[in-house]
Amino acid sequence: MGASARLLRAVIMGAPGSGKGTVSSRITKHFALKHLSSGDLLRDNMLRGTGFPRTLPQAEALDRAYQIDTVINLNVPFEVIKQRLTARWIHPASGRVYNIEFNPPKTVGIDDLTGEPLIQREDDKPETVVRRLKAYEVQTEPVLEYYQKKGVLETFSGTETNKIWPYVYAFLQTRVPQANQKASVTP
């Protein structure tokens, strides 16, 4: 089998809000790779954004079915993720979404058009976010160790997807056949 026909079987790991979705879509865009999922279970997990594999038995099962070539681990500090995830506020009646960092309301906690109070979804409340991040850490630690021992784990650390992406891109250029590459590193 020639190198050009070779599939790259990669797994992207990272806590909720670490930028997995953004990185996945950039990989498929820049490398003409398809965002393939292994079977319905994985497809369901991808659609629901629940992340897979999250446990050691899942990682081992995935490995038995598909030889995983590389695991891209997005290591973003929890404080940064917490800020990112708790910045979202909603006007329930209209569904308008505000982000304290990127799209803040004119007055904190108040809808621009109606003057009504904004609410924070249960998922976006700091205590919920912290609980989810801690659960992720406990659950995936053995998975990351497993991939580390197999020699397929590549960790990319940073606080912004735009700053992490060039390193992921450069790493993948060494793994993906040249023919599949589009000559661009912009997001």
Any domain includes 3? no
Residue 50: burial class (beta carbons within 10 Å; 0-12, 13-18, 19+): exposed
Any domain includes 95? yes
What average pLDDT does range 66-94 have in this prediction? 92
What average pLDDT does range 115-143 have in this prediction? 94
Any domain includes 187? no
**Selection from 28, 33, 29, 38 nearest residue 7 by Cα:** 33
Instruction: Note the pLDDT tens digit of each residue in 151-175.
Output: 999 999 999 999 999 999 999 988 8
Report the share of the chain in percent with pLDDT over 90: 53
Any domain includes 57? yes
Instruction: Note the pLDDT tens digit of each residue in 4-47.
Output: 445 678 888 999 889 888 888 888 788 766 655 444 444 455 44
The reported pLDDT for the residue numbered 171 is 94
Q: Which helix or strand (DSSP H or E) is residue 148 part of?
A: helix 126-150
What average pLDDT does range 102-123 have in this prediction? 95
The reported pLDDT for the residue numbered 20 is 86
pLDDT at 92 over 80: yes
The reported pLDDT for the residue numbered 39 is 44
SS3 call for 16: coil
Residue 120: burial class (beta carbons within 10 Å; 0-12, 13-18, 19+): middle
Looking at the 3D structure of the chain, how many domains does it have? 1
Segments forming the whole domain that contains residue 142 = 10-174
| Residues 6+ away with beta carbon under 8 Å from 61 | 53
Output the pTM of the full model.
0.76
Higher pLDDT, 68 or 112: 112
**Selection from 167, 171, 166, 165 nearest residue 18 by Cα:** 165
The reported pLDDT for the residue numbered 38 is 44
Any domain includes 116? yes
Any domain includes 182? no
Query: The CATH number of the domain where 166 resides is what?
Result: 3.40.50.300
Any domain includes 1? no
CB contact at 8 A, 90 and 98: yes
The reported pLDDT for the residue numbered 181 is 47
Higher pLDDT, 66 or 143: 143
> Rg of the Cα trace of the chain?
19
The reported pLDDT for the residue numbered 35 is 54
What average pLDDT does range 70-83 have in this prediction? 94
Instruction: Show the tokens assigned to 151.
Output: 């020699």
The reported pLDDT for the residue numbered 46 is 47
Any domain includes 131? yes
